[in-house]
Structure formats: structure tokens, C-alpha cells
């Protein structure tokens, strides 16, 4: 995968659009991911895991044997991180971990998976993250301004109960670290920094943002809520558009983290207990 800013004008002109069979292959991978997550969430966890495992093997095998355009190969390799994500989060024996450390443990695996992919593909971490020190304050403000209303909407959709009887600063700070440093970072790196960027390079920015947002929504099927799926898809379009416009993961990570902080660490205590 190469970041869009790295594509020279000559490369963009010379690169042919993927053939129909290659488009159908990527679409099929997405469909099977959706089926695996749906079965995992609504029917049988074991069957969902088996489908995710089979998809991973078949995808890698197809990418090794068939002759795909490099851009499409990159898409396949980044998309297959999703079934690997399912396998890691569902198959490992998490029961031995204290519940308060479960979330960072799971997302540490996701981060490790993404970093392994970056290392294997020899991608430029700085270009993926697009960190600009001089823009940091602006990006933080953008993330907060967008994250607060989005988090409020998601709370009204899900109405989660407070985790603890009363609001305490130590738990708020813990949740803030978890949501920004693990959930926001891990999911934005996977879905925007890797998957969306590869889809954009191969199929254009509209399909890239749409496809990554769709996969992000699919991974929230476990909430078993249609309104939540609609919200997540729309929020993912915002996150994807923000990353595409700024070429930086910083505002997306902040937005994602603030959204989740509002959802689990602020509004349940502000509204539910009032």
C-alpha cells in the first residue's frame, strides 16, 4: 500500500482500473466477512470463528496463486486483518485476565496485528499516521468538537447503564486512556489507516471510504441493534472523510476516543443517574 500523496501523477495515469473479477474478489471477501460476523453475533460463535479462519486461509491462498494487480493485493491483505481480528478477539483464552484489563489486552492484540502488517508490507508509519506537530491543537479541537455530539447521539441509541454506582475521576481517567490509547488508536489504524487507504488507492476515494465504513459497521453487529449499525456507519463516514481530508489519523483517533468516552464514561452518569 502507498499513501495517496505518494502516488505520482504518472503512476495514477498509468495504473489501470482493476478488472471485474478482481473487484468481485474484494467484494466477495467483504461479503464473507459480513456473514462470519453475523453468524458470530447472532447464531453460533464457533461457526463464526470457523468461517473467519477459512476466509483467512482462502484469501491468502488466492492472493498467492492468482495474479492480482498490486493495489488489489494490498486491499485483500488489509481486509484479511478483519477475520484475523475476529480470530484473535474470540479464540484466545481471555478468561484468565482481570475484567478491567480485558479491553486493553484485546486491543493490544489488534494493534500488534496492524503493526505486524505494517512491518511485513514495509509501510511508512509516519505517512499512515500523518502526525503534524503544528496541526496537533487544531486536530484535537476538531476531534473534541465532533466527538461530543456523536457520542451523545450514540448514547441515546444504546442507553448503556453506568459501569460503577457513582462517577469517579479515577475511573473516568482509566476509561479515557482505554478509549483513546487502545480502542480509538487500534480501530482507526486498522479501518482508516490501512483498509480505507488501500481501498482508496485501488478503487477511488468514494468507494474506499464507503467500503471501509461498511466493514467498520459490520464489526459492530455484536451490539445486535439496527439503529446502532446505522449510527456506526454514518460515524465511520465522518471518520473516513476526516482522515481523507487531513491525511492524519490524529483527529480521527481523538474523535473516536471522545465519542466512546461520552458513551461509557460521561453520559451514563450525567443522564442515567440524574
pLDDT digit string, tens, across residues 226-252: 999 999 999 999 999 999 999 999 999
- At 9 the pLDDT is 35
Confidence of residue 10 (pLDDT cuts 50, 70, 90): very low
Planar angle of CA 75, 221, 1, nearest 5 degrees = 15
DSSP state of 201: H
Can you say how many angstroms the Cα of residue 38 is from the centroid of all Cα atoms in its chain?
17
Among 131-135, 145-149, 203-207, which stretch is predicted with the lowest mean pLDDT? 131-135
- At 16 the pLDDT is 66
- Closest by alpha carbon to 264, among 144, 183, 143? 183
* Residue owning grid cell 505486524: 116
Confidence of residue 154 (pLDDT cuts 50, 70, 90): very high
- At 95 the pLDDT is 63
- At 30 the pLDDT is 97
Residues 86-122 have pLDDT tens digits of: 888 887 666 667 777 888 888 998 999 999 999 999 9
**DSSP output for 60-81:** HHHHHHS---HHHHHHHHHHTH
- At 188 the pLDDT is 97
pLDDT of 224 > 50? The answer is: yes
Mean pLDDT of 43-61: 94
Instruction: Work out the percent of the chain whose per-residue pLDDT is above 90.
Output: 73
Mean pLDDT of 161-179: 90
**Exposure class string for 8-18: b at 16+ Cβ within 10 A, else e:** eeeeeeeeeeb
pLDDT of 14 > 50? The answer is: no
- At 137 the pLDDT is 94
Measured CA to CA, the distance from residue 246 to residue 255 in angstroms comes to 13
Measured CA to CA, the distance from residue 268 to residue 260 in angstroms comes to 11
- At 5 the pLDDT is 45
8: phi then psi, degrees, rounded to nearest 5: -75, 165
Confidence of residue 217 (pLDDT cuts 50, 70, 90): very high
Among 11-20, 100-109, 130-139, which stretch is predicted with the lowest mean pLDDT? 11-20
- At 1 the pLDDT is 44
- At 18 the pLDDT is 75
Amino acid at each position: 500500500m502507498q499513501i495517496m500523496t505518494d502516488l505520482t501523477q504518472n503512476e495514477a495515469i498509468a495504473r489501470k482500473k482493476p478488472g471485474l473479477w478482481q473487484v468481485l474478489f474484494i467484494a466477495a471477501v467483504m461479503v464473507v466477512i459480513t456473514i462470519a460476523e453475523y453468524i458470530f453475533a447472532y447464531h453460533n460463535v464457533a461457526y463464526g470463528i470457523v468461517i473467519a479462519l477459512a476466509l483467512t486461509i482462502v484469501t491468502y491462498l488466492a492472493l498467492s496463486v492468482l495474479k492480482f494487480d498490486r493495489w488489489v493485493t494490498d486491499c485483500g491483505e488489509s481486509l484479511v486483518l478483519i477475520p484475523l481480528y475476529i480470530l484473535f478477539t474470540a479464540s484466545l483464552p481471555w478468561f484468565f485476565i482481570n475484567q478491567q484489563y480485558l479491553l486493553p489486552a484485546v486491543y493490544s492484540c489488534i494493534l500488534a496485528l496492524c503493526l505486524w502488517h505494517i512491518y511485513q508490507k514495509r509501510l511508512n508509519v509516519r505517512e499512515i499516521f500523518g502526525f503534524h506537530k503544528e496541526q496537533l491543537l487544531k486536530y484535537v479541537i476538531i476531534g473534541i468538537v465532533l466527538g461530543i455530539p456523536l457520542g451523545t447521539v450514540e448514547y441515546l441509541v444504546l442507553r448503556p447503564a453506568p459501569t460503577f454506582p457513582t462517577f469517579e475521576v479515577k475511573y473516568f481517567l482509566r476509561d479515557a486512556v482505554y478509549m483513546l490509547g487502545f480502542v480509538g488508536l487500534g480501530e482507526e489504524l486498522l479501518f482508516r489507516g490501512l483498509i480505507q487507504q488501500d481501498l482508496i488507492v485501488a478503487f477511488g476515494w468514494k468507494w474506499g471510504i464507503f467500503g471501509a465504513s461498511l466493514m467498520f459497521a459490520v464489526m459492530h453487529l455484536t451490539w445486535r441493534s439496527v439503529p446502532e449499525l446505522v449510527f456506526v456507519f454514518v460515524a465511520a463516514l465522518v471518520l473516513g472523510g476526516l482522515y481523507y481530508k487531513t491525511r492524519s489519523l490524529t483527529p480521527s483517533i481523538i474523535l473516536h476516543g471522545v465519542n466512546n468516552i461520552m458513551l461509557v464514561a460521561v453520559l451514563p452518569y450525567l443522564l442515567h443517574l440524574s
